[in-house]
Chains A and B, each alone.
Chain A
Amino acid sequence: MAHDTAHHHESNTKRIWSVFIILSVVTLVEVVLGIIKPEFLTDTDLVNMSLLNWIFILLTLYKAYLIAWAFMHLEAENKWLRRVIVWTAIFLILYLVFILLNEGFYIYEVYNEGYMSWDF
């Protein structure tokens, strides 16, 4: 690996620092939003979740993308290595999250609307 990576890595530090700045700014935005909690974002619902939470999740995915692509160097890897790693994880995680969250919501409804008292 050393011989073929040596030449196209010359000015990589610039990229590293710019990614660091983006990551810091995104984290700062998340923290500020988390402290202020603007009402129009918390009160607007989109598919069972407030707009604010969707923003948090999207920013998180963006940060994850930056870390994986720039720091873990996926952007310079073979296209298929990248796809194998990313798509395997994404499909399995989507499946898991869908099943568990859906089931959690179902149990919530049973607790609240079913013939069962759980706060006695």
Chain B
Amino acid sequence: MEASVVRTGTEGKAWGGGNEPLDASYGKMMMWFFIVSDALTFSGFLAAYGFSRFKYADIWPIADEVFNHFPFLHGVDAPMYYVALMTFILIFSSVTMVLAVDAGHHLNKAKVTFYMFLTIIGGLIFLGSQAWEWSNFIKGEYGAVSTTGGNILQFVDNEGHRVALSDFAIPEASERIVHEENEGIWFESGATLPTYSIEEVTAGFAANEDLYVRTGVLNEEGEKTILSRRESLQKLETEGIGVVEGANLTQNEYGPPLFADFFFFITGFHGFHVLSGVIINIIIFFNVIVGTYERRGNYEMVEKVGLYWHFVDLVWVFVFTFFYLV
């Protein structure tokens, strides 16, 4: 073998090979390449969210009014608490991850196993929480009326509290029929109808004297504008065209549909990262158990997956700020 090795005279020098540029191993360096590019992807999404938010600066929903649910506290207005809990869960799973990495430096297999396990559990709890948050957002709470201009009208009582459509709409015998496939040759499916029609909502609103329309427009104090009774009736008559319940990619009872689009896209993309992080963690976890890294003599794989996991936490810190706080 010796004869076939070409001596270049650069051994031990920077370009001689065999050394680690920037004192980082190949795997760790590649993980950092990935993280930096992924960070730019996320900042692209968040900056696009910022763009839309600045564009619709005065009709953007107030996050505290959208995300105000907490498990087992039904009907209680609890802004921020749930997302704060989610943030704690993710930070804590980041801590157990870094403890696993630390134990790996001491080649302590039992501790690495234990902390990796806690990290995986934390990740799974976070994913479950996010699913719950999504389902609340999709279901919606009060319902709203959409206007010809693509805006949203919500309803409040004389004390400014939100009122749900189901509290005042007058269900009438009407001609609303869900068309089904068996009724036509080419017909496959129609849009699902909301619980109430716009006529039923308008009739209920007219009959109920102490109801007011709240538009999406923010006033000087940063609160949504509430119209007078006369303006409310007129607005509903002339501009109301449909009923919106909950949020999806095309409609959103809280405000501009773009808000829902960005919420689904960014938290969804982040949740997908958490999911893949959990899967990678599980793979590494089993490798730790069967002793792969014990035999290898170092736990660098745990360190690399740890970098990814902390990055996911890092992204959540920004998502938390820009969706829930600012």
Is B276 at the interface (CB under 8 A from chain A)? no
Residues of B within 8 A of A85 (CB): 32, 35-36
CB < 8 Å neighbour of B50 from A73, A104, A112: A104
Interface residues of A in 1-39 (CB under 8 A from B): 1-2, 5-6, 9, 12-13, 16-17, 20, 23-24, 27-28, 30-31, 34-35
Is A67 at the interface (CB under 8 A from chain B)? yes
Q: How far is the CB of B223 from chain A (nearest CB, A)?
A: 11
Whole-angstrom distance between the alpha carbons of A30 and B318 in the complex? 12
Residues of B within 8 A of A17 (CB): 95
- Residue in A closest to B309 when the chains form the complex, CB atoms: A71
Residues of A within 8 A of B47 (CB): 93, 96-97, 100-101
Whole-angstrom distance between the alpha carbons of A46 and B46 in the complex? 21
With A56-B325, A56-B326, A89-B39: A72-B300 Cβ-Cβ less than 8 Å: no
With A30-B325, A67-B313: A104-B39 Cβ-Cβ less than 8 Å: no
Residues of A within 8 A of B324 (CB): 34
Q: Which of A97, A105, A119 has the most CB of B within 10 A?
A: A119
Chain B positions 292 through 304: 1 when the CB is less than 8 Å from some CB of chain A, otherwise 0: 0000011110010
Is B272 at the interface (CB under 8 A from chain A)? no
**A60 engages B317 (CB within 8 Å):** yes
Q: Which of A12, A17, A34, A111 has the most CB of B within 10 A?
A: A34
Is A53 at the interface (CB under 8 A from chain B)? yes
Q: How far is the CB of B74 from chain A (nearest CB, A)?
A: 20
Whole-angstrom distance between the alpha carbons of A108 and B56 in the complex? 6
CB < 8 Å neighbour of B22 from A78, A93, A120: A78
- Residue in B closest to A84 when the chains form the complex, CB atoms: B22
Interface of B is mostly: helix
Interface residues of A in 78-99 (CB under 8 A from B): 78, 80-81, 84-85, 88-89, 92-93, 96-97
**B149 engages A119 (CB within 8 Å):** yes
**B88 engages A24 (CB within 8 Å):** yes
With A23-B91, A96-B43: A35-B102 Cβ-Cβ less than 8 Å: no
**A107 engages B55 (CB within 8 Å):** yes
- Residue in B closest to A12 when the chains form the complex, CB atoms: B102
**B300 engages A35 (CB within 8 Å):** no
**B321 engages A27 (CB within 8 Å):** no
**A71 engages B94 (CB within 8 Å):** yes
Number of A-B contacts (CB under 8 A): 155
Interface residues of B in 283-326 (CB under 8 A from A): 297-300, 303, 306-307, 310-311, 313-314, 317-318, 320-321, 324-326
Whole-angstrom distance between the alpha carbons of A24 and B134 in the complex? 24
Interface residues of B in 72-122 (CB under 8 A from A): 79-81, 84, 87-88, 91-92, 94-95, 97-99, 101-102, 105-107
Q: How far is the CB of A50 from chain B (nearest CB, A)?
A: 8
Q: Which of A5, A53, A71, A111 has the most CB of B within 10 A?
A: A71
Residues of B within 8 A of A40 (CB): none
Q: How far is the CB of A112 from chain B (nearest CB, A)?
A: 8
**A6 engages B105 (CB within 8 Å):** yes
> Can you list 9 A-B pairs with a CB-CB distance of less than 8 A?
A2-B105, A13-B102, A16-B99, A72-B314, A77-B22, A81-B23, A92-B40, A97-B43, A104-B53
Minimum-distance CB pairs A-B, first 10: A104-B54, A2-B298, A104-B51, A81-B22, A78-B23, A100-B51, A119-B149, A60-B321, A31-B84, A100-B47
Given contacts A57-B321, A67-B317, A73-B307, 16 further A-B contacts (CB under 8 A): A1-B300, A2-B300, A12-B105, A24-B91, A34-B64, A34-B80, A53-B325, A57-B326, A63-B317, A71-B95, A85-B32, A89-B39, A89-B43, A93-B47, A97-B47, A97-B50
